[in-house]
Structure 1
């Protein structure tokens, strides 16, 4: 019995970094999503992004954030789900680079800074999630 309890405590402690990374990603994604949905027209002008682009991106981020919180709150963090989260984050970073390189939108200087900053932060979340996954696995 003591061995089982010890193993469960160790697994929970090992997942601490992973849960932290998932929750931080959720907070950042959710906050951005809410702002994009509520202020798409204002932010669109500031950043050079169409409101019609920011609304669905914001809605996606809100749903993504909820999924991250759910994943982080489970008694056992699902490895496959974390890999999907990391893949989505990597796709976000790649799309950010493509958005800048291809010039999809007439970004303002502030818009360019936003895209770069978000890509760096998302890459950081992904690195933390990967580290947490390795430590807990």
Structure 2
């Protein structure tokens, strides 16, 4: 095996990192979505946004999580779909930060912390998914 072949083997993981990142994103998104759907009335006082916003976000996250699982289960993860997830996650992070500015007065301190914490987690998922795309070869 040449040096070039060894380097290629070291950097190509056949999509394992991407699949793992997609599945982890799906688990976190799905869990947060189910929590938002199931506990929206209780979360209003804790976090600040109105129940319909929490229900809408929860429903979106459950559907998004299902889509990520379907994508991760494909024999080959299509690059355009994976890039859409990465860019969508980046947009979610930016939107979350913007939401704390725009909706800041209606959010509680805990609400701001939760929005920013989930944005940080989504940024990590986007980074891992981007790295997974690079490693796919």
Q: What is the TM-score when the length of structure 2 is the normalising length?
A: 0.88
Task: Verify: 1:64 aligned to 2:59, yes or no.
Answer: no
Summarize deviations over 1:75-117 as a string: whole Å, max 9, x none: 1011111111112111111111111122355111111110110
The residue aligned with 1:3 is none
The residue aligned with 1:7 is none
CA-based RMSD: 1.5
The residue aligned with 2:123 is 123
* Preserved contact between residue 99 and residue 105 of structure 1 (Cα < 8 Å): no
In the TM superposition, 1:14-53 aligns within 5 A as 14-53=14-53
How many angstroms does 1:13 deviate by? 3.7
The residue aligned with 1:134 is 134
The residue aligned with 2:98 is 98
The residue aligned with 2:3 is none
Q: SS state of the match for residue 14, structure 1?
A: coil
Task: Structure 2: state its 5+ residue gaps.
Answer: 1-8
Equivalent-residue separation in structure 2 for 1:74 and 1:13 (angstroms): 16
* Preserved contact between residue 23 and residue 69 of structure 1 (Cα < 8 Å): yes
Q: What is the TM-score when the length of structure 1 is the normalising length?
A: 0.88
How many angstroms does 1:25 deviate by? 0.3
* Preserved contact between residue 27 and residue 65 of structure 1 (Cα < 8 Å): yes
Cα 1:66–1:105, aligned 2, differ >3 Å: closer, same or farther? farther
Aligned length: 127
